[in-house]
Structure formats: structure tokens, C-alpha cells
Amino acid sequence: MKDKDKAKEQLIKELCQRIAELEQSETQCERVEKTLKRQAGDLQETSTEDVQSLVHELEVHQTELEMQNEELRRAQVNNRRL
């Protein structure tokens, strides 16, 4: 029984840590959005290469968030099983 309790505690700790990471990531995204809104006027002057680079960065970030989300879902499923 103690092993199950320890496993639950560890999963809860991991979930809390991942949630904190996601919240921090969301905060970073909000800062980026504010910056982009301020720079929206400069968008007309942005080169195609810069836009492509930004799109790539956003795609990478989206993939990272999707992977983190899947990891959280797996941990939640494991936690429910215990």
C-alpha cells in the first residue's frame, strides 16, 4: 500500500510541476502576443525570411505544447489507475 501511495504522490508532484511549466509557457506566450501586437505596424516591412522564421518558431512551440499536453494526459490516466 505504501508503494501505491508513494507512486501517487510522485505522480501528483510531477503533474503539479508540469502544470507550473505550462502556466509559465502561457505567460511567455502572452508576452509574445503583446509584443507582436505592438509590432503589428512593422509587419508590412518584415521580410519573407523573417516571417518564415517566425512561423517555424511558432510551429516548434506548438509541437512542444502538444507533447507536454499528451504527457500530462498520460500522467492523469496513470494517476486515475492508482
CA–CA distance, 16 with 3 (Å, rounded to integer): 20
pLDDT at 42 (0 to 100) = 64
Q: What would the grid cell of residue 37 be? A: 501586437
Q: Note down pLDDT in tens along the chain; length 82 residues.
A: 577 777 778 878 888 888 778 777 777 777 777 777 777 666 667 788 888 888 898 999 999 999 999 988 888 888 888 7
Contact 68, 22 (CB under 8 A): yes
Q: What number of H helices and E strands is found in the chain?
A: 2, 0
Q: What would the grid cell of residue 46 be? A: 518584415
